[in-house]
Amino acid sequence: MVQRFDFFMIKARYNRCKYDSYFYFKQSDDLIYLLLYVDDMLIAVKNKTHVQKLKAQLKKKFDMELGEAKKILGMEITRGKGSGRFWLSQKNYILKVLERLNMVEARLVNTSLACHFKLSSKQCPQSPEEDEEMSRVLYASAVESLMYAMVCTRPDLAYAVSTVSRFMSESGKQH
């Protein structure tokens, strides 16, 4: 299927990005982008007629359902009415992470990591009992989830994620 799709895109005069083989682009009177990820596809272009034309071509060749993009890779897409702008949100992803980590009741804060909040290796477990207790905490999973949110929609978390990721192999309660 992948080779067939690639052949189709090349034949339709799309270029494949040399850094990501599932990212295609075409320069016509507008620049058209197509991103393919497993069973998700996103087409981006200023002129909607280009999108409709490409969708019609894809539907002829492949068995696909192609509607207006509402989600991509777990991110919700919201469009501004008539403004030509859109926003990405991972609100539902974050809520699922909080549920998985039993943190739905956690307090909201304005900063991702307060200035007075200092983390160090001195706060790592100091006894076998503390090690045992921390082995039940999904610390690495929480940090990885924060990394995904940071990369996709929350660059403001970069400093906090960088700080807490230093303690992935050995985390204590304060971490």
> pLDDT, tens digit, for every residue of 56-112?
888 888 888 888 888 888 889 898 887 778 889 999 999 999 999 888 888 887 777
**Residue 121 and residue 59 in one domain:** no
**Residue 64 and residue 95 in one domain:** no
Confidence (pTM):
0.72
**Residue 49 and residue 97 in one domain:** no
Mean pLDDT rounded to a whole number for the chain: 84
Any domain includes 74: no
Q: Could you count the other beta carbons within 10 Å of the beta carbon of residue 165?
A: 14
Q: What are phi and psi of 80, to 5 degrees?
A: -80, 130
**Residue 96 and residue 161 in one domain:** yes
What is the rounded CA–CA span in Å between residue 42 and residue 73? 10
Residue type, position 56, single letter: A
Any domain includes 82: no
pLDDT of residue 99: 92
Any domain includes 120: yes
What is the rounded CA–CA span in Å between residue 4 and residue 61? 10
The 3-state DSSP composition of the chain as helix, strand, coil percent (nearest 5) reads: 40, 15, 45
Task: Show Cβ contacts of residue 70 under 8 Å, excluding neighbours closer than 6 positions.
Answer: 76, 77
**Residue 64 and residue 96 in one domain:** no
SS3 category, 71: strand
pLDDT of residue 96: 93
**Residue 61 and residue 108 in one domain:** no
Any domain includes 32: yes
**Residue 9 and residue 62 in one domain:** yes
Any domain includes 53: yes
* Number of residues that this document lists for the chain: 175
Q: In the chain, how many domains are there?
A: 2
- Residue 50 structural domain: 2-68
Domain boundary, last residue among 15, 33, 68: 68
Tell me the average pLDDT across 116-131.
78
Any domain includes 76: no
Q: Could you count the other beta carbons within 10 Å of the beta carbon of residue 8?
A: 16
pLDDT of residue 127: 79
CB 5 within 8 A of CB 14: no
